[in-house]
Amino acid sequence: MVQSSQQLALLQLADSFFPSGTYTLSHGLETFVQTGEITSSQELRDMIELALWQKVGASELVALIHTHRASQQGNISAIAQIEQHLWSQTLVATTRDSLLRSGRALLSVATPVWSDSQLEALSSRESPCYGLHPIIFAVVSRAARLEENDATLAYLHGFVTGIMGAAIRLGILGHIQAQQLRLELASTMEQVSEEAAQKQLAQMGSFAPSLDIAQIEQGHLSQRSFAN
């Protein structure tokens, strides 16, 4: 019964139905589409794999994993230190803002759903944390009794399906193509998760200038459908 409960919690957190606001983000894809740099499924795959290896997996996922471990130990102080490390390494303001908005949205939904003292502490005015999405996702995952690996895969799944959802709305990908691409990316997601789990917090750091520039430029597009 416990295992079934964990599986259902995993499905709940990974489902786009869960209202964390991540569906409003394109992670720079909208810029690439408007400039004609991404027009096909293969080009989209290249972008997603770059983001998984050089950005999300190298930075956000490492912070998530260490936060999950600190949360298991009930160490709020360590969680705040991990978040500060992630905050200081996230140099692009639009990226920080999107992580903050989606994290706080997730926290506002998760706190009344899962009765948990750590979530309540993070929701309080005295919280030592900003509320970045990977940090909150880790604590929510622990509160939902998800194992570390399940939490990381759920986070990666949400990131990948979020970009593919944006691609569908931007007209460069069909629903069947999206499902095919999601399946093709499964092994990459597993590898990224395994590598991130081996990293110390001091090894955390992303390098994806093309994605960073696209996110910055997205805020200056004359017409846009997504938040960042």
Give one DSSP letter per residue of 156-217, joined into a string: HHHHHHHHHHHHHHTTS--HHHHHHHHHHTHHHHHHHHHHHHT--GGG-----HHHHHHHHH
Confidence tier at 218 by pLDDT (50, 70, 90): confident
Ramachandran bin of 147, using left for φ above 0, alpha for ψ from -120 to 50, beta for the remaining angles: beta
**Under DSSP, is residue 15 helix (H, G, I), strand (E, B) or coil?**
coil
Which of 8-17, 153-162, 172-181, 207-216 comes out lowest in average pLDDT? 8-17
Confidence tier at 226 by pLDDT (50, 70, 90): low
- Count of all residues that appear for the chain in the document: 228
Contact yes or no for 58/89 (Cβ under 8 A):
no
Question: What's this model's pTM, rounded to 2 decimal places?
Answer: 0.91
223 contact partners, CB below 8 Å, separation of at least 6: none
If one compares 1 and 146, the residue with the highest pLDDT of the two is 146
Fill in the amino acid letter for 14: A
Here the tokens at position 118 are 């750590």
Q: What is the pLDDT of residue 13?
A: 73
CATH for the 23-212 domain, from 3.90.1150.10, 3.30.420.60, 3.30.720.210, 1.10.4190.10: 1.10.4190.10
